[in-house]
Amino acid sequence: MKFDTYLAIGIGGFIGAILRAYTAGFVNTAFKHDIPFGTIAVNLIGSFTLGILIGLIQFSIIQNPYLKSLLTTGMMGALTTFSTFAVESFFLYRNGLLIEGSVYILINVVGSILLAAAGFKAVEAIVG
């Protein structure tokens, strides 16, 4: 990958990270609750937005490789990684890969929860 591509991803990541912090903070302030509605909001917004972007790329409306990298890997990647998970799951099912799609979803959801718990338990074991 060329430096220009990394730079585009970095700029997009900067924008996405700020959008995530602002959006999650705004939503969490507006809807005070034990459920992290801010995270839910950025995941849903990011999934919807990445779906639009992937469509724009698939239909050659967005063709510039730097813009693609900035918007998808950079901005949406920093806004949320859930958007990538959602689009990849969609395409697995769309392509008729029902078992693979189901396994992918199971691994992502269960694996993420288990690894989050494992990381927490490791810190708890060291610090606690």
Residue at 33 is within a domain: yes
Is 87 part of a structural domain of the chain? no
Range of the domain at 52: 3-80
Question: What pLDDT is stored for residue 7 in this prediction?
Answer: 98
Distance (Å, whole) CA 24 – CA 80: 11
Q: 87: closest CA among 44, 49, 42, 47?
A: 47
**pLDDT attached to residue 124:** 85
Q: Please enumerate in sequence order all residues whose Cβ is within 8 A of that of 42, keeping only pairs 6 or more positions apart, or say none.
A: 19, 20, 23, 24, 79, 80
123/70: higher pLDDT: 70
pTM: 0.78
* Helices 82-94 + 98-127 axis angle, to 10: 160
Between these two residues, 128 and 4, which has the higher pLDDT value? 4
**Residue 115: inside a domain, yes or no?**
no
Residue 106 is assigned to a structural domain of this protein: no
In a domain, 72, yes or no: yes
Is 114 part of any domain?
no
* pLDDT, tens only, 40-89: 999 999 999 999 999 999 988 999 999 999 999 999 999 987 887 999 99
Looking at the structure of the chain, the number of domains it has is 1
